[in-house]
C-alpha cells in the first residue's frame, strides 16, 4: 500500500530543500536560479566558483535575490584546503599549525577573521573545522587538516574554532563525524575501515565532537567510513546507529545530544557512489538521520539535482523513506537558512588582517644541526612534490620558492615528483639537482616525507651530497628533523611559506607578535 503524502508539490520542495548542490562557473546558471524558486535552500561553492571577493559577493547577492533565506556553503578550512584563495594560497595557516601553537585565543581569532571574510562575501555556512584526531600519521587525506594527535588538544581548538567562526555570523559545520583520523584510505577513492572499539572511539575520536557540540556548532558533517563497532554494514553517513543512535542520542545514553543540522560529506565520493550509487546513497543517508545531502564537488549540473530530487520523492512514495523524516530534515535546513540570514554581513568583528601570518610565524619549529648562516643570496629550491589529495586539490600552489624569490630575487626552483624519480632513478635525479644548483645554497622542500619512500630516499641522497642543505617540511613533521636547518611549518598555506622564507633569510619576529 502506497503511503499517503501531503501533496506532490510539498514533497518535491522538501526533496529540493535537503540538497546542497554545486555548479560550475563564477556566475549563477539559470537552472540554479530556477530551482531556488522551486524550493532549493542551499548552494555549495568551490574553488571553480571564486575569482575574487567582489565577484564572490556579487554571486551570492544574485543567489539571494532569488531566495533571501539561503544557505551558501563553502569548504574553507584555511591552510592547505582553501577555496577563497585557491589560486594563490591561503592567508591563514591550517589546523595543524594552530594546534602546534596551542593557543586557543589565537585559534579563535584566526577563525573569527576567516569567518569575517566569508561573511563579507555572503557565505554563511563553512564546512569546517576538521575535528579529526590525527591518530594515524599515515592518513592520506587528513594530515595537516587535523589540529593534532591528542584528543584533548583537538577538542579545545575545535571548540575555539567553532566559537570564532560563528562569532562572525558564519555557521560552523564540524567534520568528519565520527572521526576520519584513524584511516589509511582516502574516502574520495574507497571506503575506509576503522577497527577501533567503542571505548576507544569514545575516548579518542568523539572527544572533539563533544566539544564542538558543547560550543554550539550549528552543523556536523558525517564521514564515509565503516566502523564495525557501530555498524558492521553501513558507513557512518548511511548508518542510523552512527547518526541517530550516536550523534543525536542524549549524553545519558552515550550519545552527543546534537540537535543541529547533519550534513553528509560529498556523496559523489567513491566510498558511497561506487558502493551504493548516488541516488540510493541519498535515500539511505536521509533515512539514517542526515538532513542535508552535499553533492557538487564532482557532479555539478542540473541533472544531478533532478536525479536526487526524484530519488527522494520516489523513496517516500515507495515507503522506503518516511515522509516525516524528509519533512523534518527539510525543516532543519530551512531553520538554519533563516538563522544565518545574510550572515549578518557588516555586523561582525573588526578586521584582523595580519593574524594569519602571525599564527604561521608562531607555528614554525626550527631545528639546527649546527650554526646556520641565513641565506643572503639567491638560492636553489628543490621541491619534492607528492600527488595532492582531492580535498586539497592541485590548483593551489605550495612551497617556499615564490616567497623566497620575493626576498631573494634570482632564486630558482625545480619540482621533483615520484614519477620523475622512478623514471630517472634517485641518483640521476639528485645529480641533476646538484648540477642545476651550480654551487648555490640549497633548500629542499618536502611534504609528509614520512609517507613517501621515494621522497625520503631522494632527500637522504641530496643531504649526503650537500649536508649544508636546509629542509622545509610543509606536511606533518613525523620524520626526524634532517638538514643543516630543519623548518617544520605544519602546513603548506601561503603564510606558512612566507614564515619559512623569513626564517631562512634570518628575519626576526617583531616583539609582541
CA distance 423 to 272: 35
Q: What cell numbers appear for 500 in the block? A: 619559512
Opening angle at CA 25, ends 20 and 31, nearest 5? 55
On whether the CB atoms of residues 269 and 188 are closer than 8 A, the answer is yes
CA distance 295 to 308: 10
Q: What cell numbers appear for 89 in the block? A: 594560497
Residues 6+ apart with CB under 8 A from 3: 316, 317, 319, 323
In 3D space, the residue among 109, 229, 110 whose CA is nearest the CA of residue 178 turns out to be 229
Active-site pick, 188, 224, 234, 490? 188
On whether the CB atoms of residues 116 and 108 are closer than 8 A, the answer is no
Q: What cell numbers appear for 215 in the block? A: 560550543
Burial string for 351-361 (b: 16+ CB within 10 Å, else e) reads: eeeebbbbbbb
Residues 6+ apart with CB under 8 A from 70: 36, 41, 42, 43, 63, 64, 337
Distances (CA, A) of 390 to 142, 190, 310, 395: 11, 13, 28, 10
In 3D space, the residue among 42, 92, 46 whose CA is nearest the CA of residue 334 turns out to be 42
188 carries an active-site annotation = yes
Active-site pick, 120, 231, 265, 448? 265
CA distance 243 to 227: 12
Query: In this structure, what DSSP letter does residue 154 have?
Result: H
DSSP assignments along 394-424, one per residue: SSS--SSHHHHHHHSTT-EEEEE-HHHHHHH
On whether the CB atoms of residues 158 and 211 are closer than 8 A, the answer is yes
Could you list the beta-strand ranges (E) of 311-458. Answer: 365-368, 380-384, 412-416, 442-446
CA distance 159 to 482: 34
On whether the CB atoms of residues 474 and 501 are closer than 8 A, the answer is no
Opening angle at CA 34, ends 31 and 38, nearest 5? 130
Active-site residue list: 188, 265
Amino acid at each position: 500500500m502506497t503511503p499517503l503524502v501531503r501533496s506532490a508539490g510539498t514533497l518535491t520542495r522538501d526533496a529540493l530543500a535537503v540538497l546542497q548542490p554545486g555548479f560550475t562557473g563564477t556566475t549563477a546558471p539559470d537552472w540554479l536560479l530556477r530551482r531556488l524558486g522551486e524550493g532549493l535552500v542551499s548552494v555549495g561553492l568551490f574553488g571553480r566558483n571564486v575569482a575574487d571577493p567582489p565577484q564572490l559577493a556579487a554571486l551570492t547577492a544574485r543567489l539571494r535575490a532569488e531566495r533571501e533565506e539561503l544557505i551558501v556553503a563553502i569548504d574553507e578550512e584555511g591552510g592547505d584546503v582553501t577555496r577563497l584563495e585557491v589560486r594563490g594560497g591561503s592567508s591563514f595557516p591550517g589546523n595543524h599549525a594552530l594546534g602546534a601553537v596551542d593557543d586557543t585565543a589565537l585559534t579563535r581569532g584566526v577563525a573569527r577573521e576567516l569567518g569575517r571574510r566569508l561573511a563579507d562575501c555572503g557565505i554563511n555556512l563553512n564546512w569546517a573545522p576538521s575535528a579529526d584526531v590525527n591518530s594515524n600519521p599515515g592518513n592520506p587525506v587528513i594530515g595537516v587538516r587535523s589540529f593534532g594527535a591528542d584528543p584533548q588538544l583537538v577538542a579545545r581548538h575545535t571548540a575555539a574554532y567553532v566559537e570564532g567562526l560563528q562569532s562572525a555570523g558564519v555557521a560552523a559545520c564540524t567534520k568528519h563525524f565520527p572521526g576520519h583520523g584513524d584511516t589509511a584510505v582516502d574516502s574520495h577513492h574507497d571506503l575506509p575501515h576503522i577497527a577501533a572499539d567503542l571505548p576507544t572511539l569514545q575516548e579518542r575520536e568523539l572527544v572533539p565532537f563533544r566539544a564542538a557540540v558543547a560550543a554550539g556548532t550549528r552543523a556536523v558533517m558525517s564521514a564515509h567510513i565503516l566502523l564495525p563497532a557501530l555498524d558492521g554494514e553501513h558507513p557512518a553517513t548511511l548508518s542510523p546507529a552512527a547518526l541517530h543512535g550516536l550523534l543525536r542520542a542524549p549524553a545519558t545514553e552515550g550519545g552527543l545530544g546534537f540537535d543541529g543540522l547533519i550534513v553528509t560529506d560529498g556523496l559523489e565520493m567513491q566510498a558511497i557512489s561506487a558502493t551504493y550509487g548516488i541516488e540510493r546513497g541519498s535515500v539511505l543517508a536521509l533515512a539514517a538521520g542526515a538532513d542535508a545531502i552535499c553533492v557538487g564537488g564532482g557532479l555539478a549540473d542540473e541533472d544531478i539535482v533532478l536525479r536526487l530530487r526524484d530519488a527522494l520523492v520516489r523513496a517516500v512514495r515507495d515507503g522506503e523513506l518516511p515522509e516525516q523524516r524528509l519533512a523534518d530534515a527539510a525543516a532543519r535546513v530551512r531553520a538554519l537558512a533563516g538563522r544565518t540570514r545574510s550572515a549578518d554581513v557588516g555586523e561582525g568583528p573588526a578586521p584582523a588582517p595580519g593574524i594569519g601570518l602571525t599564527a604561521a610565524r608562531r607555528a614554525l619549529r626550527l631545528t639546527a644541526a649546527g650554526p646556520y648562516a641565513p641565506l643572503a643570496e639567491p638560492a636553489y629550491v628543490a621541491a619534492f612534490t607528492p600527488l595532492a589529495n582531492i580535498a586539497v586539490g592541485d590548483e593551489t600552489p605550495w612551497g617556499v620558492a615564490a616567497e623566497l624569490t620575493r626576498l631573494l630575487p634570482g632564486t630558482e626552483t625545480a619540482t621533483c615528483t615520484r614519477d620523475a624519480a622512478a623514471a630517472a632513478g634517485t641518483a640521476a635525479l639528485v645529480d641533476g639537482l646538484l648540477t642545476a644548483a651550480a654551487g648555490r645554497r640549497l633548500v629542499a622542500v618536502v611534504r609528509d616525507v614520512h609517507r613517501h619512500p621515494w621522497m625520503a630516499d631522494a632527500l637522504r641522497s641530496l643531504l649526503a651530497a650537500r649536508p649544508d642543505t636546509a629542509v622545509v617540511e610543509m606536511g606533518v613533521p613525523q620524520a626526524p628533523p634532517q638538514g643543516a636547518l630543519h623548518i617544520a611549518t605544519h602546513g603548506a598555506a601561503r603564510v606558512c611559506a612566507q614564515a619559512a622564507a623569513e626564517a631562512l633569510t634570518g628575519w626576526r619576529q617583531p616583539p609582541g607578535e
